[in-house]
Amino acid sequence: EAGVVQSPRYKIIEKKQPVAFWCNPISGHNTLYWYLQNLGQGPELLIRYENEEAVDDSQLPKDRFSAERLKGVDSTLKIQPAELGDSAVYLCASSSRRGAGNEQFFGPGTRLTVL
């Protein structure tokens, strides 16, 4: 079974440019998460989807960040415009209600560098 797929793996952009990250969760997982992870820190939740509905986006900086999961499967996270402080790893995870303790399975992440 394929795991969570993310692309691109690495992205380098100049500040004020837009950037988008893509995530394809494990097949059958209805819950999808986007996390931000700074160096030496644990992941911080940005947004959680239950199918196509965003049920927790309280930590998403809505002035520049947006996300969508139109068909309840894959998802896109966008930053426009990017700032220097957005440099981090963006992790996507998915889970199933049938999993033990709703275990979240993580993708490899996209490392963003804003110059």
Q: Which of 13, 22, 52, 108 binds other proteins (CB under 8 A)?
A: 108
Instruction: Work out how close the CB of 37 gets to other proteins at its nearest, in angstroms, rounded to a whole number.
Output: 9
Cα separation of 96 and 102, whole Å?
6
**Structural contact between residues 5 and 23, judged by C-beta atoms closer than 8 angstroms:** yes
Cα separation of 94 and 1, whole Å?
14
Is the backbone peptide bond immediately before 18 cis, with ω within 30 degrees of 0? no
**CB of 83 or CB of 103, closer to other proteins:** 103
**CB of 39 or CB of 70, closer to other proteins:** 39
> Per-residue string for binding with other proteins, 27-66, x by CB under 8 A?
-------------xxxxxx----------x----------
Task: Give the bridge partners for 47, in sequence order.
Answer: 34
Instruction: Based on the shown chain and the rule CB under 8 A, indicate whether residue 25 belongs to the binding site for other proteins.
Output: no
Instruction: Work out how close the CB of 81 gets to other proteins at its nearest, in angstroms, rounded to a whole number.
Output: 27
Whose tokens are 């996270």? That residue is 77
Q: Give the chain's end-to-end CA distance (angstroms, integer).
A: 37
The residues binding other proteins (CB under 8 A) are 4, 40-45, 56, 91, 93, 95, 100-104, 106-109, 111
